[in-house]
Structure formats: structure tokens, C-alpha cells
Amino acid sequence: MPPMPTPHPAVRETSRRFSTRHMLMLALALEILIAGSVNADRSRRPGVTVDMPAVDGHVIT
């Protein structure tokens, strides 16, 4: 009886090219960076506005 051949795992050649999924992820990351930098330059009102009391000695708590 001949010896049984040992199974070898299927080896996939690694590709140096970007896949479509990687290109889409990079494009999305670039779009987020650009949109964030554009929105960072806009002046916005503060979230909480505190008015100074008209009478000295009064404290807003």
C-alpha cells in the first residue's frame, strides 16, 4: 500500500495591490478629514451661555 500524501494547507499568494474595499475605506477616511477640517474653521456659539448678574454680589449657581 503506498503511503498517504500529507495534506498541505492552501496557500494564497499575497497581493500587493489595494482591494476595492481598502480603497473605499481610504476614500471615506479622507472625506472625513476634509469635512472635519472645513467644519473646524466655522465659529459656533458656545453650548452654555452665562450672563453676568446685574447686581454686584449676586452669584449664579
Provide the pLDDT for residue 15: 62
pLDDT tens sequence for the chain (61 residues) = 677 777 777 666 666 777 899 999 999 999 999 998 888 877 666 677 677 777 777 776 6
The phi, psi pair for 41, rounded to 5°, reads: -80, -15
Per the CB < 8 A criterion, the answer to whether 53 and 59 are in contact is yes
Provide the pLDDT for residue 12: 66
Query: What per-residue string of b and e applies to 34-55 under the rule 16 or more CB within 10 Å gives b?
Result: eeeeeeeeeeeeeeeeeeeeee
Provide the pLDDT for residue 1: 65
